[in-house]
Amino acid sequence: MEDTASLIAFYRARRAELDPSDGSRWYLLIKEIRLLKGCGIDEAHAIALTDPAWRRWLEQQINSNVACRKAALRHIRRNGDASIIAQQGERLAVR
């Protein structure tokens, strides 16, 4: 799996095999986007979040999964105003 097309196909197939609630699906999507677009992580996140389904999925995960919430809060602390996530009271939302 050295060429880009093979890696993209692998990530896409692996994502399809996973349960919809599995957080690994997000990481595989980001890897796929980075290969397709030749971009960095921040740009890949922005591209992924243009899809309403992924946006809803991410909001649900960061508000219901403890590990995801912890990672989201860490993202907010590290990125400040540039964060893609905002805290609204007890809830977290994608900007």
Write the pLDDT tens digit of every residue in 35-71. 999 999 999 999 999 999 999 999 999 999 999 999 9
Q: How far is CA 58 from CA 9, 15, 38, 48, in A?
A: 23, 15, 23, 10
Q: Taking the mean position of all CA atoms in its chain, how far away is CA 64?
A: 15
pLDDT category, 9, cuts 50, 70, 90? Answer: very high
Q: What H or E segment, with its residue span, contains residue 92?
A: strand 91-94
SS3 8: helix
Residues 70 and 30: their CA atoms lie apart, in Å, by 19
Q: Which two tokens stand for residue 25?
A: 């699906």
